[in-house]
């Protein structure tokens, strides 16, 4: 394991959305995170070119925390409550 791999947040679940576009991606994220415990971490793999802008913006709008971005990998902490 290299140093970069050790720095990744520990994920509770993985969601690989491939090349899914923003609208459908938002629905998938809402469903997945809605079923997780507050504070849990979701590792999302999103290969769409707009994901580096879309995912952090979605987190800001919904109150979830973007922990780390390494396109196509994103770690999101589910908000409390």
Instruction: Give catalytic residues, as residue numbers.
Output: 22
CB–CB of 77/67 below 8 Å?
yes
Chain center to CA of 11: 10
CB–CB of 73/41 below 8 Å?
no
Beta pairing class for 73-77 and 41-46: antiparallel
């Amino acid at each position: 394991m290299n140093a970069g791999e050790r720095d990744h947040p520990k994920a509770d679940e993985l969601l690989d959305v491939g090349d899914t576009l923003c609208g459908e991606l938002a629905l998938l994220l809402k469903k997945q995170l809605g079923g997780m415990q507050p504070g849990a971490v979701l590792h999302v793999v999103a290969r769409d070119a707009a994901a580096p802008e879309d995912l952090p913006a979605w987190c800001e709008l919904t109150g979830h925390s973007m922990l780390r971005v390494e396109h196509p990998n994103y770690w999101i902490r589910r908000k409390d409550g």
